[in-house]
Amino acid sequence: MKKRLMKAMATLLAATLMLTGCGGGSKVASGKTPEDNGKVRILYPGEETDAMANFIKNELNPKLKEEIGEEVEIVYKGWDQYWEQKDIMLAAGEGIDLYWDGLVDIGIMVNKKQCQPLDKLIEEYGQDMKKVLPDSQLSGGKVGGIQYGIPSAYAPSSAMFQLVCVRQDLMDEVGMTDIKTAEDLAEYAEKVKEAHPELSGPADIIYKPLTRYFQDEQLTWCSAGDTVVYGEDSKKAMNFFETETFKKVADFNRSMYEKGIYRDELTTNYNERDSRMQQGTYIWVEGSLGKENEIISAVRANAPEATLKSYLLKPDEPKYLISCGGEVLCVPYSANNPIGAIKFVNWIYTSQDNYMFALYGPEGENYTMNGDRIELKDPAFEGYFYEWMFRNVNYQKFTSDVPEEFIESYQKWDDGAIPSDVMAFYFDNTNVKNEQTALGEIWNKEIQPVICGYVSYDEAHDKIAQELKDAGMDKYLAEVQKQLDEYFKTEGK
């Protein structure tokens, strides 16, 4: 995934953070030489498995100890509590050396003082990593010209959050060959509902793919949360709720509820959409490039006949590159072994062998290579460390069941893609923290049920619009636009 330069939009902010954001501690930030204690504690989303525990103890750690003098300890937090627990642990100064999060939130993490500068550490301990993570990729982890995170997924990424992953086997059964429009989606859902009333319908209200379809210009989310979007043509920050696009998405999803296609759980348990899809009784979820390959094993565990395929609505419209891959690895100020953290990440990217070992273990144990393809001994094996977290186009391999057609499309996916104006823009909410909190609460409690279609847009509009105004939306928008203008001036745009 390609990426841009973030020059000095927030140089003053970054300097302030360097002076005041050390809390109790980074030896790197304070200018002292950090120590390498040989143990890297990694905060990791998900649940521990016996297989992963055995891999870490008996295979990975002995290899790491011999080659770079480090061992890793994984601190697991389930997906349902990961982000809350991450904030609590980092605020308490727990000795976490490395953690993962979404790249889109790196500006927030810098403001919260959750990640320390990495420039010196990468320069000294990350040279192998830089060979396969080019400067254009690493720049996505910079705020104010300072490297606060490692954008760890480097692969095609345009039209991120804009695809829909569907049950292709059901599409074939009901006689549909393509999905290009919202109307195609509705037709597909209605036909499957008629053919299989026992199935649960869509797993997701896919408001971001639908935003692509209904928008008149590319709308890119450009500050914390989903309340504000940037118009790539108009060059303005906008209250997403007040756009015509939002209304069209909300009206479409409302019609899906009224037809009985959507269920209440899509709104009340929105964040469980991926786990729903993997139950094998749902027909679509928001997709990403290659998601069908990532989740097919889990889906087939419950629906053995399932096949998946991702579709892009309005496929002939331009695709935008909106971030450097979506994933970021950070080292908090409270890290006891920041050197070890960077050495570990660098080790993964040092060679094809290390990369494959970290993801799948020793060759011959869980997999063999057949030419350029992975042959899994157990098709249900999903690897050890998440492949999407470390995905790198220089090393990435596909399993033997991935169609050649997909690989060809994947390799050309970013051809002709347009870099977003705000790809490397990170909003500093220092001046509007209270407003951002209030707007976020309104989004969660009031706006999300509307965009999901659970509540009528027309009936709720006036009340929500007033609530947004009272919460400081005008002030918040003005601050976003001010920072955008400053950023564009600095970038020469």
* Mean pLDDT, residues 110-123: 95
Residues across the chain:
493
> Looking at per-residue confidence, does 403 or 474 come out higher?
474
Task: Check if the beta carbon of residue 335 is closer than 8 Å to that of residue 98.
Answer: yes
Task: Check if the beta carbon of residue 320 is closer than 8 Å to that of residue 417.
Answer: yes
Distance CA 106, CA 423 (A): 12
Q: Which tokens sit at 374? A: 């992975």
246 has a pLDDT exceeding 80: yes
264 burial via Cβ count (<10 Å: 0-12, 13-18, 19+): exposed
Pairing of β 150-151 and β 327-330: antiparallel
- CB atoms under 10 Å from CB of 434, counted, come to 13
37 has a pLDDT exceeding 80: yes
pLDDT computed for residue 359 by the predictor: 96
pLDDT computed for residue 269 by the predictor: 83
Amino acid at 436: Q
Task: Check if the beta carbon of residue 393 is closer than 8 Å to that of residue 455.
Answer: no
* Mean pLDDT, residues 381-410: 91
Identify the sign of the CA torsion 76, 82, 83, 88: negative
pLDDT computed for residue 8 by the predictor: 32
pLDDT in tens, 38-51: 999 999 999 999 99
pLDDT computed for residue 108 by the predictor: 85
Task: Check if the beta carbon of residue 267 is closer than 8 Å to that of residue 228.
Answer: no
φ, ψ of residue 321 in degrees (nearest 5):
-90, 115
Distance CA 357, CA 441 (A): 43
* Mean pLDDT, residues 54-66: 97
Measured between alpha carbons, how far is residue 223 from residues 106, 141, 160 in Å? 11, 16, 16
pLDDT band at 33; cut points 50, 70, 90: low
Residue that has been written with the tokens 């707007």 in this structure: 439
Nearest Cα to Cα of residue 223 among 240, 242, 204, 205: 240
13 has a pLDDT exceeding 50: no
5 has a pLDDT exceeding 90: no
* Mean pLDDT, residues 385-396: 94
pLDDT computed for residue 490 by the predictor: 82
pLDDT band at 194; cut points 50, 70, 90: very high
Distance CA 353, CA 365 (A): 14
pLDDT in tens, 131-182: 999 998 998 899 888 999 999 999 998 998 899 999 999 999 999 999 999 9
Nearest Cα to Cα of residue 222 among 392, 9, 16: 9
- CB atoms under 10 Å from CB of 462, counted, come to 9
Residue that has been written with the tokens 């976003």 in this structure: 480
**Cα first-last separation, the chain:** 22
pLDDT computed for residue 10 by the predictor: 33
Task: Check if the beta carbon of residue 426 is closer than 8 Å to that of residue 484.
Answer: no
In 3-state terms, what secondary structure has residue 325?
coil
Task: Check if the beta carbon of residue 192 is closer than 8 Å to that of residue 284.
Answer: no
pLDDT band at 493; cut points 50, 70, 90: low
Mean pLDDT of the chain: 90
**DSSP secondary structure string, 443-460?**
IIIIIHHHHTTSS-HHHH
Please give the sequence-ordered ranges of beta strands (E in DSSP) within 315-468, or none if there are none: 320-321, 327-330, 367-370, 373-376, 398-399, 418-419
Distance CA 337, CA 40 (A): 6
pLDDT in tens, 195-231: 999 999 999 999 999 999 999 999 999 876 799 999 9
pLDDT computed for residue 130 by the predictor: 96
Looking at residue 74, the DSSP 8-state letter turns out to be E
Indicate the pTM of the whole model. Answer: 0.78
Distance CA 412, CA 405 (A): 11
pLDDT over 70, % of the chain: 92
22 has a pLDDT exceeding 70: no
φ, ψ of residue 181 in degrees (nearest 5):
-130, 165
pLDDT computed for residue 24 by the predictor: 37
* Mean pLDDT, residues 465-484: 97
Task: Check if the beta carbon of residue 265 is closer than 8 Å to that of residue 282.
Answer: no
Domain ranges of the chain: 11-156+323-402
- CB atoms under 10 Å from CB of 483, counted, come to 22
> Domain 11-156+323-402: which topology?
D-Maltodextrin-Binding Protein; domain 2 (3.40.190)
60 has a pLDDT exceeding 90: yes
pLDDT computed for residue 169 by the predictor: 97
Task: Check if the beta carbon of residue 334 is closer than 8 Å to that of residue 41.
Answer: no
pLDDT computed for residue 34 by the predictor: 64
